[in-house]
Amino acid sequence: MHGLALFISVFLACAVEAVEATTIVLAAGTARDWKSALLGTGAGFGVLALVIVSIGPSISHLPMNGLRLIVGTLLLVFGLQWIRKAILRASGYKALHDEEKIFQEELAAARKAKEGQKFGVADWYAFTLSFKGVLLEGLEVAFIVLTFGTIQHQVGLASLGALAAVVIVAIAGFALRKPLAQVPENTMKFIVGIMLTSFGIFWGAEGAGALWPSADAYLLGIIPYVTFVSFLLVQLLKARRARTPEKVKVASLVELDAETVLEDRGFIKVMKDFGFFWYDFLIGDDLIGFAIVIAALEATNLMVHSGTNAWWLLPAAVAALLPINLLRVTK
């Protein structure tokens, strides 16, 4: 992948996470106490720095095939979650992501919370709310930077893309003192989901032992393939929704994101959310999809060892998995 493509992919992915973190911090500062909110933001960045310093060097020492398999699997699972939600939003089965609405909800919750001072922090609620938002969204940024950068041997460039996204979003958010509702976040999430899924397919299949017909150039074919499958599913779901207007509301869609928590913002609750973040990050609300991805990778590896270069199996599994999942949740 060329340096520009790496930079753009990391920048867009990190910009999405930065917008969401900024919305949370703005709500904490506006409704409660700016000093406490900024202290929480700084503490979140501090923990992120420790995570990156402790994990970053060890990632670079992993065998390249093993690294491709692990990173490819995680990117594929993560990317499929983004694509599925983007398809549901684009087809009308799920409300568009609205930062203004989220900001108002966080603002209302913050204003209702009890006053409290702990460990020398004037407003513990504002501190923990900002800390959680920065840490959880930042972990996704750190994962994207470390994985993309390490596999491409360009951690510095990936870090620069992430830093640029965070700085631009933070400056814009705090200058305006309101959520960045005008940012085309839904479109960005769709693009990032396609990119993450494409790289996940590419690296995951390589890690499982498959060889792509045109080596690295084949990635240029995977990206439009995933894009075509995604937009085809959008059109199919739109047509289905038009035929059955009485069933357009998908109340059964349960989305327990790290963003949608919490009433109690205490330290214990933050740690519980931290654990839930990893479950949501790795599996989300689609355990069946996660199992299918693992099974497809294992089947690829078995076929490679039996003498068949099954590079096509993982793309086919993704094309089958998405409609199965979407039809299941839109019944």
Range of the domain at 260: 3-329
pLDDT given at position 251 = 39
**Cβ proximity of 189 and 16 under 8 Å:** yes
Predicted local confidence at residue 313, as pLDDT: 94
Token pair of 157, please?
A: 């460039």
The size of the chain, in residues, is 331
Q: How high is the pLDDT of residue 182?
A: 58
Write out residues in the chain with pLDDT < 70, as ranges. 1-3, 56-57, 59-60, 96-103, 106-107, 111, 115-116, 119, 176-185, 245-286
CA distance 42 to 131: 8
Q: Phi, psi (5° rounding) for residue 150?
A: -65, -45
Q: Cβ distance 48 to 142 under 8 Å?
A: yes
Residues 102 and 22: beta-carbon distance below 8 Å: no
Tokens of 119: 């460990």
pLDDT confidence of residue 172: 76
Tell me the C-alpha distance between 206 and 311, whole Å.
Answer: 8
Per-residue tokens: 28:
């904490």
104: which 2 tokens? Answer: 């108002």
pTM of the shown model: 0.73
Give how many domains the chain has, as a whole number. Answer: 1
Query: 118: which strand partners?
Result: 121
Instruction: Note whether 87 and 197 are within 8 A (CB).
Output: no
Q: pLDDT for 125-143, tens place per residue?
A: 888 888 988 887 888 778 8
CA angle, 146 then 140 then 4, to 5°: 55
Residue 254: per-residue pLDDT: 42
Long-range contacts of 325-328 (CB under 8 A, 24+ apart): 325/84, 325/286, 325/288, 325/289, 326/84, 326/87, 326/88, 326/233, 326/237
Count of CB atoms situated within 10 Å of the CB of 224: 11
What is the rounded distance in angstroms from the CA atom of residue 219 to the CA atom of residue 2?
11
- DSSP of 260-283, one letter per residue? S--S--SHHHHHHHHHHHHHHHHT
If DSSP codes are grouped into helix, strand and coil, which group holds residue 311? coil
The C-alpha atoms of residue 240 and residue 148 are separated, in whole angstroms, by 37
Residue of 274, 316, 308, 262 whose CA lies nearest to 129: 262
For residue 92, give the 3-state DSSP assignment. Answer: coil
Model pLDDT, residue 257: 44
The pLDDT assigned to 303 comes to: 95
Specify the pLDDT at position 298.
Answer: 93
